A and B are shown apart, each in its own frame.
Chain A
Amino acid sequence: MSEATEHMTRPIPAPAISIETKPFWDAATEGRFLIKRCTGCGKAHWYPRALCPFCMSAETVWEESPGEGVIYSYSVMHRAPTGPYAIGYVTLDEGPAVLTNFVGVAPDGLAIGMKVKVQFQPTEGGPPVPVFAPA
């Protein structure tokens, strides 16, 4: 298959896990996608923090998300030794934009506004990490 039509894959290294984000990765290991929401101002945010980046309240809670949204922007890197891969932002239905890789799609198959859904990709020596594929 030509580069343009082959589905993209990229080996992803184990993520850095801190005491603050360990619950996210524990859930990821079970295939659940969590986001953080502030019970003070009601807003969801990304990446997950102990303190709300909008109102600085410490009353943030984990919330399971279906991980659905649309592509805000993307770029396909053509110069990687393991083949082309796509980085981009997904605007989740809950509001926040999430940086990610796109999988299950050819390099020329992506578009801003495309509906995507989270899935988890295994890493070497770490928990699986969220990536997004066409919904």
Chain B
Amino acid sequence: MSIKGKAYLMGAFEHPLRDAPDTSTPQLHGECALGALTDAGLSKDDVDGYFCAGDAPGFGGLSMVDYMGLKNVRHLDSTETGGSSYIVHVGHAAQAIAQGKCSVALITLAGRPRQAGRRPGGPGGGGGGLTDGPPEAGFENIYGGSTHNTYGMCAMRHMYEYGTTSEQLAWIKVAASHHAQWNEHAFLKDVVTVEQVVNSRMISDPLHLLDCCVVTDGGGALIVTSPEVAKSLNRPKVRVMGAGEAPKGPRGGLDLDLTHSGAVWSGPRAFEEAGVTPADIKYASIYDSFTITVLMQLEDLGFCKKGEGGRFVSDGNLISGVGKLPFNTDGGGLCNNHPTNRGGITKVIEAVRQLRGEAHPKVQVKNCDLAIAHGTGGSLGTRHAAATLIMEREA
């Protein structure tokens, strides 16, 4: 399959400024985006793919998506290859369009090296102590936001709207600990009870110490191959069936909703592509930076209705061999591993083990032929990207 003839360059804009003392880098990105969209005869709400490189301030594409209010993005790419990035991006955009992953891709570049005092390592913001970093920085970074308290805000609001309790959240940790006891590499191997979780010391309301994931060194890697290579290898075959992604942020503050994650968009896309439903899933790897992360994502992915996550996770429903939806059978980020504070790869790794039938016998899901791995990157409480992957064991 080739991209030949599958995509079109329909808008282009070069910013007229060559010296921009009065225009921030985010604003330059935004003005370039507006220029290219206007040139094409499109508007920002038509954009469903966003591509940027290291010149875009912030965390990957998340800050610029939020700054520009791009609310329909379902494909993100922040590949960085220096000055050639934007040519790489056109190729990647064409691939994404050919695969149906987006239909209008926006690629932006902007920066202000002339304002950096013309010295290497300068602050880049111009004179007078000005900076030129992520556009939200001045209005957010000063308030002591951490993962603990920004996720805490989500849990607090979820409890307020839906009556979710600390005991219900604790069941998520309890389930993870039941799995971790069988993992010889798990950072925390002790089985814990609901009482132990809710009586552990408060970190940031309403999240206790045992509502939080571990901090670990380490890493992981994955190999994805063509069907031909897969066939040539002497390993069980785990077939990629569907994937979805979606950024979500405060986006101007008018539709702030801390009880939903981007999974409400990434999940349905992945399920639709795979041609399956949540009811078909035998095993779920669900990002567990905190217990609330799991609960919100399970709701948003459609394993239960919004607001019913507390009841869904209670009474061992996530424990392999006990409940209806075995999750994070390696012990997850809550007990096993959260290498360099990025849990997405270990979610895929345990799903591969389950689909191969190579999970620990005490937690191996019987006839595990369909699995999901889902993650949240960034912060649910500010801006994040959700990613959903559905995999099938090929008989």
Q: Which of B68, B129, B206 contacts A53 (CB 8 A)?
A: B68
Supposing A47-B140, A73-B153, A100-B143 touch, asked if A56 and B160 sit within 8 A by C-beta, the answer is: no
A20 touches B26 (CB 8 A): yes
Binary contact track A74-118/B, C-beta < 8 Å → 1, others 0:
111111100001011101000111111100000100001000000
Supposing A16-B138, A73-B156, A99-B143 touch, asked if A89 and B256 sit within 8 A by C-beta, the answer is: yes
Give the distance in Å from the alpha carbon of A87 to the alpha carbon of B157 in the complex.
13
A73 touches B140 (CB 8 A): no
Q: Which of B128, B132, B160 contacts A112 (CB 8 A)?
A: B160
How many B residues touch the partner, as a band?
A: 35 or more
What is the chain B residue whose CB lies nearest that of A46? B253
Q: Which residues of B contact A91 (CB under 8 A)?
A: 256
Q: Which residues of A contact B251 (CB under 8 A)?
A: 53
B139 touches A47 (CB 8 A): yes
A21 at the interface (CB under 8 A from B): yes
A54 touches B69 (CB 8 A): yes
What is the chain B residue whose CB lies nearest that of A96? B253
B250 at the interface (CB under 8 A from A): yes
Q: Which of A22, A74, A78 contacts B130 (CB 8 A)?
A: A22
What is the chain A residue whose CB lies nearest that of B255? A97
> By CB atoms of chain A within 10 A, which of B26, B201, B256 has the most?
B256
Give the distance in Å from the alpha carbon of A112 to the alpha carbon of B162 in the complex.
13
Q: Which of A51, A76, A95, A129 contacts B253 (CB 8 A)?
A: A95
Residues 145-203 of B at the A interface (beta carbon under 8 Å): 145-146, 148-150, 152-157, 160, 201-203
A96 touches B254 (CB 8 A): yes
A77 touches B148 (CB 8 A): yes
Q: Top 5 nearest A-B pairs by Cβ distance?
A: A75-B152, A53-B69, A96-B253, A53-B252, A20-B24
A49 at the interface (CB under 8 A from B): yes
New A-B contacts (6) at CB < 8 Å, excluding given A12-B142, A47-B140, A58-B31 = A18-B138, A50-B23, A77-B152, A97-B250, A98-B253, A112-B157
Residues 18-42 of A at the B interface (beta carbon under 8 Å): 18-22, 25
B157 touches A72 (CB 8 A): yes
Interface of A is mostly: loop
Q: Which of B130, B149, B156 contacts A17 (CB 8 A)?
A: B130
What is the chain B residue whose CB lies nearest that of A90? B253
Give the distance in Å from the alpha carbon of A51 to the alpha carbon of B156 in the complex.
32
Q: Which residues of B contact A47 (CB under 8 A)?
A: 135-136, 138-140, 253
Give the distance in Å from the alpha carbon of A97 to the alpha carbon of B155 in the complex.
17
A73 touches B204 (CB 8 A): no
A15 at the interface (CB under 8 A from B): yes
Query: What's the nearest-Cβ distance from chain A to residue B247, in Å?
Result: 13
B153 touches A19 (CB 8 A): no
Binary contact track B219-258/A, C-beta < 8 Å → 1, others 0:
0000000000000000000000000000000111110101
B19 at the interface (CB under 8 A from A): no
A10 at the interface (CB under 8 A from B): yes
What is the chain B residue whose CB lies nearest that of A22? B130
Q: Which residues of B contact A7 (CB under 8 A)?
A: none
Supposing A51-B30, A54-B252, A97-B256 touch, asked if A77 and B130 sit within 8 A by C-beta, the answer is: no
A123 at the interface (CB under 8 A from B): yes
